[in-house]
Amino acid sequence: MSDKNTSDNTSDIINEKISMQEIIASAYMVNKTIGDRPIIKNLSLEVKKGKTFALLGPNGAGKTSTVRLLTGLYTADSGVVRLFGEELTKEYADEARSLIGVQNDGSLYERLSVFENLNIWGQIYEMPKTDLENRINELLDFFDLADRAKSKVSSLSKGMKQKLLLARAVLNKPKFLILDEPTSGLDPESNAKIIDYLVHLVREEAVSIFLCTHQLFGLERLIDDVAIIKSGEIIAQGAVADLIKEEFPRKDVIIKFAENPIMESILSAYNFEVLSKNEVKVELDDETAIAALVKKAVQANVDIYEVKHIEKSLNDLYFSKIKDAELNGKTKVSAEEEVSYEL
């Protein structure tokens, strides 16, 4: 049997194995200390097949360390890390990393051209020459880099480098992607295009994504599950919708109305904030309470112009959880979180 056939058969076996896994990556009670400083404390998480898991946290909170643990670049002091259903041992780490697409600055060679960068990685992945060239051209076209194929990476703008990093990460069509700020440095049009592409990978091709970011604009529609990390500890984790509902059980609505002194009396029974002489923000228990308030105002001959529900976002959840953690003394802001940058 030829080397190519052996390689193809191995790839088929690996892909079949991955397709059977519902949990692509996981950590259970993982701890890591460097020197005498604990950098990860009792980390537990799961990245599900065909879902996007976002790890959010301040700079220096432990996001890079978490990625290194998930990819075998760090060995846990205690606890278990699994990739594709197997425990991530030193012996398994190299094989596991070959199945992952990772987007980070360290995967580009500045003195080589755009095409050469992708070609080298394709050879590392042992992609057949014709398939590799077709795949490179396909990605260069998609990421609007075809006219820069011969340009050295060092000559590219930040946005172009970001596109090339993403192209490199998906070159061998991995089923698990690890992304660091995937939309950083992109213009609005490219931002939307990249997010659409990532949504397609997750929803249509069952790719799993582990995403580290602090720039949430546009990414909320991609994220299914989230963990918020601070000082090496997970302070909140779960499905985005569930966490938002849990954190903000009451509804905020903005009501615009015709000036009427009766409205002040009606609002006295509620927790409200005056935004202008004919506009207030009211906190209510649920949709039924919203309807009851509007009905009461209309019955009192107050003209209601607009009722607008304020949707809480993942951004709101993040800042609320970080603030709660600081106020409750669960974590302390370290010097690293103040000044350093991590994934």
Average pLDDT over residues 95-104: 87
Compute the distance between CA of residue 223 and CA of residue 243 in angstroms, rounded to an integer. 13
pLDDT per residue over 275-327, tens digit each? 998 899 999 888 888 899 999 999 999 999 999 988 899 999 999 999 988 88
DSSP string of 231-270, one letter each residue: TTEEEEEEEHHHHHHHH--SEEEEEEE---HHHHHHHTTS
Position with higher pLDDT, 186 vs 77: 77
- Average pLDDT over the chain, rounded to whole? 87
Average pLDDT over residues 76-98: 92
Q: Measuring CA to CA, how many Å separate 343 from each of 33, 103, 154, 181, 332?
A: 18, 11, 22, 8, 19
Compute the distance between CA of residue 30 and CA of residue 76 in angstroms, rounded to an integer. 6
pLDDT at position 182:
86
Position with higher pLDDT, 202 vs 343: 202
- Residue of 292, 321, 317 lying closest to 307 (CA atoms): 292
pLDDT per residue over 105-116, tens digit each? 667 899 999 999
Nearest-10 Cα torsion for 310, 315, 319, 320: 40
Are 282 and 252 in contact by the 8 Å Cβ rule? The answer is yes
Helix (H, G, I), strand (E, B) or coil at 142: helix
DSSP H helices, the chain, are 3-19, 63-70, 90-97, 114-124, 129-142, 158-169, 188-205, 240-247, 261-267, 287-299, 314-327, 335-339
- Residue of 314, 232, 321 lying closest to 53 (CA atoms): 314
Compute the distance between CA of residue 210 and CA of residue 198 in angstroms, rounded to an integer. 12
pLDDT at position 208:
96
Instruction: Dig out the tokens for 249 from the structure.
Output: 């059980």
Instruction: Dig out the tokens for 230 from the structure.
Output: 């601070």
Give the residue carrying structure tokens 């003394």: 329
Edge-first strand order for the sheet with 279-284 is: 271-276, 279-284, 251-257, 304-310
Instruction: Dig out the tokens for 9 from the structure.
Output: 């058969």
Which DSSP symbol is given to 225? E
Amino acid at the residue 161: K
Instruction: Dig out the tokens for 295 from the structure.
Output: 């009905």
Does the structure show a pLDDT above 50 at 96?
A: yes
